[in-house]
Structure 1
Amino acid sequence: MIKVWFPASGSPGAMTRVGAALAAGGVLTLALAGCAGQVSRTGSAQPLTSVAAPVSDPQPSSAPTIHPKWRTCADEPTMQPQDGGNDAVPLAHFAGTFHPVAALLCREDTQRRTDGGTDAIAVEDRADDVAALIAALSLPDEPPPSLEPPTGDVPPEAGLICAADGYFTPRMVLLDGQGRWVRPRLPRDSCDKPRAEAAAALGELRWTRVSTRVLGEVESAGAAASGCDQVHTDMVWFTGVHPPGRQGDLAALADDAASVRLCVYRVLASGRDSEKPQGDFVSGRVLPPGRWAAVKRAVATSGKAAACTTPANRFARLETPRGDIYVELDGCRRLVAQGALAADGTSGDTIWQASTDLPALLTGP
């Protein structure tokens, strides 16, 4: 994946509470086709063995529109996060009728609060020194690569092979001196990607914050202070739905004096019937001296997991130096922990019935 970052403040983060992935840092992303869902990791796009046919832009049914006076990102439906840039028009279509003096960018980011928590925010940024950007946006599209293999004296690189990847168009508009606006399309290279000149011009813009709007909470102050994730999967229920192929013994647990973090979650009602329920942070702390030793003994005396179909309302995650342990605090009251090494050298999670005193050890003072 190739990323061209706009200069921006704030740090990227997963927008778990508001149910959307954040496009942190105002980024123009070239994302591998077919890779959707999770926030992606940075990597190199590998060339394919065949030529990717360019994707044509939908032709406007009438002359491009110069919109009336700009209001805000929040007030313009085409500037919302789910927008795919289908209304963007090549800047050349406005030549002679529209003269840009500034650019506005609508994007999402995260922002740390004074209490230590983090919010998802929608921001509007403005750049006024746009001469280089306008010049780059005015460039024509490059012709697509030839489908014919190079022959004769034509160098091998002439038979360009394009990676089958796409990109997300930045939610950007251009303003003229009257406050009117247009949505420009980025000129494409021969592989139907943004031309390097346009990407470079975008990266060099100096953005000034116009407005910031809080969308929702990503991480609570309590989760941040405890070191626990704000949202976590109920791995006991998930393992019960997809049990391990081999139910081995428990692996050796951490020493009695080990530092162990306890995170407690409440299962979200919206996902309680799913095979992978998500839990929202309730409380978290490092176990007091001596508590882990007692918890360890209770885990070690677990028995064979009983058949059960009652989802938990709460579960705990124990972060130990020898792997995480998950415990249902109600419902079936099972636990999932690392299994012992098998004869073939492999290991995996194993599911057990928790001892009756384990939930109390994890919820007591």
Structure 2
Amino acid sequence: MRSLAVLVLALAGLTACAPRDTGDHPAVPPVATGAPIINPAWTSCETAAAQTVAGPDALELPRLPADFTPAAVVVCDEPIQPRADGGEDVVQRERRGTDVAALTAALRLPDQPRTTSACTMDLPGIAWFAVLDAGGRWLRPGVATDACGKLRIEARQAVERLELTTVRTRVLREMTSSAAASTGCQMAWADMVGAVTADLGSIDYAKRPVDAPKGQVRLCLYRVEPAEQGSGKPRGDFDRGGALAEERWTPLRAKLLAAGPPSPCTAHASRFALFLRPDGTGGTVYAELDGCRRLFFDTMAGGALRQGDQALAEEIERAV
């Protein structure tokens, strides 16, 4: 999931204003006017920025004043940092640099004339950064717009190419626990049984054929907090998990596939299991461990619901 978010940001950063056949234009934030706020002395990313993720908000900031000469730059971001125990944390990182000539030139660029042609609907962001003058004063400058009203690519590239030294990091939150990392399970996963049964619509999942991955699989158990139970897509938090060898998975797989149609039930599960292959192929199987104890088979052919029972739930619990 996080790799997808990184990929989306990376692609957004590389996309220029190219025509598309819809004629649509992106919703661009308004450009700020007036003088920027010049702060007397830099403290830290923690105190200067409430949120330091890349975004398009530099479009809304006043531009670099003519009488402010940058001598240094601070870039604040929130990368994922691995730990020695195998887990991962999201950290706030503060980096500094003094080679700011290219960035200053990019910040002095004017807005480009707005095109009447079509633009892509993406809105590329830029890292949170501030510039400091020789006296230590700092400000967050705005960035000029391109022909589509987006951040000029020259400024985005100037920030990306800065030579920076990390001066401070602090942990914001845990991304992956050591226990989850050792099992290959994600820290959070949606309970798709709850999601599907919350909005069945016109699809009769009970009549669809079932299938499950073969060979070795990974079994991950998740807890669903009361506030999430009954929501449109209940979030599950990692409890425990591990690999199931083929000889252990095969008889359990047969019992799952032999389950009958789901029974009428409105209870919400507080625990569920997820079966999937380490490489992600072959589909996934979800099993509620309490509540209605339903099963959901999610394959390339579509999803199907079946009915489990307490004995099957207990066997799944004992498997890891």
TM-score by length of structure 2 reads 0.84
Contact 2:90–2:173 (8 Å) recurs in 1: yes
Q: Tell me: CA distance 1:356–1:55, structure 2 relative to 1, closer, same or farther (3 Å).
A: closer
CA distance in 2, matches of 1:249, 1:166: 41
Which residue of the partner structure matches residue 124 of structure 1? 94
Q: Deviations over 1:9-38 (max 9, x none)?
A: xxx937xxxxxx97799979459xxxxxxx
Q: Distance in 1 between matches of 2:24 and 2:291?
A: 55
CA gap of 1:81–1:236, structure 2 versus 1, over 3 A, is same
2:217 pairs with one of 246, 260, 263: 260
Pick closer, same or farther for the CA change 1:51–1:285 going to 2, 3 Å: closer
Q: What amino acid does structure 2 have at the position aligned with 1:58?
A: A
Helix, strand or coil for the counterpart of 1:100?
coil
Find 2:63's aligned residue among 90, 95, 119. Answer: 90
Query: CA 1:143/1:250 → structure 2, altered by over 3 Å: closer, same or farther?
Result: closer
Tell me, what secondary structure is at the counterpart of 1:210? strand
Superposition deviation, residue 209 in structure 1: 0.8
Conservation of the 8 A alpha-carbon contact between 1:30 and 1:165: no
Match of 1:5 in 2: none
Q: Is the 8 A contact 1:28 1:168 kept in 2?
A: no
Matched, 1:360 2:314: yes
The structure 2 residue matched to 1:336, chosen from 285, 288, 296, is: 296
Structure 1 unaligned spans of 5+:
1-11, 15-20, 32-41, 148-159, 340-345
The answer for unaligned runs of 5 or more in structure 2 is: none
Change (3 A) 1:28 1:212: farther
Would you say the 8 A contact 1:87–1:183 is kept in 2? no
Q: Which of the residues 259, 265, 269 maps onto 1:302?
A: 259
Match of 2:190 among 212, 219, 233: 233
Q: Give the Cα separation in 1 of the matches to 2:153 and 2:291.
A: 56
- From 51, 58, 79, give the equivalent of 2:32: 58
Q: Does 1:348 align with 2:302?
A: yes
Q: Which has the larger radius of gyration?
A: 1
Equivalent in 157, 181, 194 of residue 138 of structure 2: 181
Q: What does residue 47 of structure 1 align with? A: 20
CA 1:169–1:202: 2 relative to 1, 3 Å: closer
Change in Cα spacing, 1:324 to 1:200, as seen in structure 2 (3 Å) is: closer
Q: 1:26·1:107 contact (CA, 8 Å) conserved in 2?
A: no
Alignment counterpart, residue 207 of structure 2, candidates 236, 248, 252: 248
Per the TM alignment, residue 281 of structure 1 is displaced from its structure 2 partner at its CA by 0.8
- Note the C-alpha offset of 1:182: 1.5
Task: After TM superposition, give the deviation of residue 241 of structure 1 in Å.
Answer: 2.0
1:170 match: 127
> Size of the alignment, in residue pairs?
312
Partner of 1:69: 41
Q: Which has the larger share of strand? A: 1
Tell me the equivalent position of 1:153: none
Equivalent residue for 1:219? 176
Q: Deviations over 1:217-266 (max 9, x none)?
A: 111111111111111111111222233335335435555xx212211111
Distance 1:49 1:234, change over 3 A: closer
Quick one: which amino acid aligns to residue 248 of structure 1?
K
Judged with a 3 Å threshold, the aligned counterparts in structure 2 of structure 1 residues 121 and 46 are, in CA distance, closer, same or farther, namely: farther
Determine if the alignment matches structure 1 residue 135 to structure 2 residue 105. Answer: yes
CA contact (8 A) 2:13 2:156 kept: no
Larger mean Cα displacement after TM superposition, 115-124 or 169-178 = 169-178
Is the Cα–Cα contact under 8 Å of residues 299 and 355 in structure 1 kept in the other structure? Answer: no
Q: Which residue matches 1:9?
A: none
Distance in 1, Cα, partners of 2:283 & 2:314? 21
Shift of 1:277: 0.5
TM-score if structure 1 supplies the norm length? 0.75
Pick which of 78-87 and 276-285 moved more. 78-87
Cα-to-partner distance string for 1:125-157 (whole Å, 9 max, x where unaligned): 112111121122112222223x5xxxxxxxxxx
Find the counterpart in structure 1 of residue 2 from structure 2.
Answer: 13
| Aligned partners of 1:136 and 1:201 also within 8 Å | yes
Equivalent-residue separation in structure 2 for 1:208 and 1:81 (angstroms): 18
Superposed displacement of residue 315, structure 1: 0.5
**Deviation for aligned residue 1:268:** 2.7
C-alpha distance in 2 between matches for 1:162 and 1:322: 39
Identity of aligned residues (%): 34
CA offset digits 1:301-348 (Å, max 9, x no partner): 312211111111111011156421111111111111257xxxxxx932
3-state DSSP of counterpart to 1:185: coil
User: Residue 95 of structure 1 aligns to which amino acid in structure 2?
Assistant: A
